[in-house]
Structure 1
């Protein structure tokens, strides 16, 4: 059995601390949702380390001030719109060394994409899947690239329910929908690394920690507290956005993880198995290679139809 990966960093570490002394000059990075929440600090840390950062956001106007602050580029991207994702990927020129799939939606009311997909799965998984596969030539051209899949402890809420991913026959439940989309983010890392490691592309997933951002915009705080109590985390220790971005940049750029792929990290270290009654660790179903391969095949058929 492989040893669990440990680093000198922990839940208190910040993105700046993780990349201290790391030189990303000449590297190019894309951060989805890079103008709010932990995306801001992920983009800032990568830029401060010397990377050329592109913020892939729905509203480039709203991102302009921050982009100017860190000298980043902006490109429009709506992950729920497959045409927008294709346009972004087709418009990218040159190599891409770092792709941080950071954007997402959480526990929103039932909605559907143009294709009829449940909107959390369409955004959190299919959007990022189509983006990463569309950018594969650019990732290969980098001669060594990393893809970061921002998941969540919310993956504990549900495996991917292959028999009814889009809630066409079962009653919609927002947290289950969110949970399976976050499980899909981890399965993407498992199969992505298996398929792409020979090209020098490594994919990992992570839980950033509990951070108060606009990701919670659809969530009633009383409901959220009931959920915390139910899942054994009644009084979460909130991280700052700088701390929340630390694991993302660790996976994106730290030399400590050269050649590492297909894993799930939390608090800047590889997670162990899920401990019942807690929100820590990773579910076995999220690392299941058979489920990962099945989801990949379904995703290819869906986004390329």
Structure 2
């Protein structure tokens, strides 16, 4: 089948994608929206009329972002709710207290660590926050999304992945680096592959209920996420930029692919895809180098059997 395409590209902004679209009546939740890509996504959706809830670990930072959004858009201030994706009690509280239907969930929050960190239950921090916390949130809100789809012509989930997924698949034998030497780049890559695989299996299970799930690569954007990069990670990015295989986007450009997955009619009924530069990405072999393929999606991040296995493992973990 041909790849799904849109009229947007790497230079498009979130506002470009939303031009002429009225989201009045749509309810959206965006994680990690106190700064960076999440804040820009929240601003753009609010400006288009959506009722936005910002789910953030630091509520004071979320309140500041919400106030700025209301000031710059002239729209109602987004609601701010505290959510710590590393703590399942916080995730369950958010789900329990959510009231009413939901039309859009953007799993945007992400962390990068420079060394091994673990949650209180022993999970590797990046996998726990970037994947497992979002998995628990999305599955917990599934009924609200289904209800939203029933009265709105469909609902959507956007899972924010990264080009970094090309560095590693899923190591089911050692998800939390309990035996292998810890490499923060590999740990981050594994979590970003998991973000894509979540979309694959969620689409298989949920599309029939009107819930469309896709993964996106926003591209390289300078945000607070880079503050914990190791010297090796910074050197790797600098080398790729010098070689011309990596180019930074503005925050507005980075949020555009997220917004395409959230609102573009081309993705209204089709899930399980990985989007890059506002288009469905082409698939590259698992042994392809990142230097040779700075765009696209590796086959391991779209494999349905791996996706189903990860879903089952994740379900058992978050139910503990």
- Which range, TM-score by smaller chain? over 0.9
| 8 Å Cα contact 2:281-2:296 kept in structure 1 | yes
Q: Which residue of 1 aligns with 2:317?
A: 302
Report the Cα offset of residue 230 of structure 1.
6.8
Q: Can you list the C-alpha shifts for 1:200-259, whole angstroms capped at 9, x where unaligned?
A: 001100110111110001114x52343236768744321110000000011112223210
Q: Which residue of 2 aligns with 1:62?
A: 61
Report the Cα offset of residue 39 of structure 1.
0.6
Q: Which residue of 1 aligns with 2:200?
A: 190
Q: Which residue of 2 aligns with 1:280?
A: 295
Q: Can you list the C-alpha shifts for 1:144-184, whole angstroms capped at 9, x where unaligned?
A: 21000000000011001011101111111000000000000
> Would you say 1:178 and 2:188 are equivalent positions?
yes
Q: Which residue of 1 aligns with 2:304?
A: 289
Q: Counterparts in 2 of 1:136-175, with a 5 A limit?
A: 136-143=142-149, 144-175=154-185
Q: Secondary structure at the match of 1:99?
A: strand
| 8 Å Cα contact 2:218-2:254 kept in structure 1 | yes
Q: Distance in 1 between matches of 2:225 and 2:248?
A: 14
> Would you say 1:124 and 2:123 are equivalent positions?
no
Equivalent of residue 105 in structure 2, options 79, 99, 102: 99
Equivalent of residue 237 in structure 2, options 228, 234, 247: 228
Report the Cα offset of residue 279 of structure 1.
2.0
Q: Distance in 1 between matches of 2:273 and 2:232?
A: 31
Q: Secondary structure at the match of 2:220?
A: coil
Q: Distance in 1 between matches of 2:78 and 2:21?
A: 18
Q: Secondary structure at the match of 2:80?
A: strand
Q: Which residue of 2 aligns with 1:266?
A: 276
Q: Which residue of 2 aligns with 1:32?
A: 31
Q: Which residue of 1 aligns with 2:47?
A: 48
| 8 Å Cα contact 2:185-2:233 kept in structure 1 | no
Q: Moved runs in structure 1, 4+ residues, more than 3 A? A: 228-235
Q: Distance in 1 between matches of 2:84 and 2:268?
A: 31
Unaligned runs of 5+ in 1: none
Q: 249-258 vs 13-22, which deviates more?
A: 249-258
Q: Distance in 2 between matches of 1:55 and 1:95?
A: 16
TM-score (norm 1): 0.96
Q: Distance in 2 between matches of 1:169 and 1:261?
A: 35
| 8 Å Cα contact 1:108-1:120 kept in structure 2 | no
Matched residue pairs, number? 303
Q: Which residue of 1 aligns with 2:73?
A: none
Q: Distance in 1 between matches of 2:294 and 2:27?
A: 34
Q: Distance in 1 between matches of 2:141 and 2:200?
A: 18
Q: Secondary structure at the match of 2:297?
A: coil
TM-score (norm 2): 0.92
Unaligned runs of 5+ in 2: 71-76
Q: Which residue of 2 aligns with 1:72?
A: 78
Equivalent of residue 113 in structure 1, options 108, 115, 119: 119
Q: Distance in 2 between matches of 1:62 and 1:46?
A: 19
> Would you say 1:242 and 2:252 are equivalent positions?
yes
| 8 Å Cα contact 2:18-2:44 kept in structure 1 | yes
Q: Secondary structure at the match of 1:245?
A: helix
| 8 Å Cα contact 2:5-2:266 kept in structure 1 | no
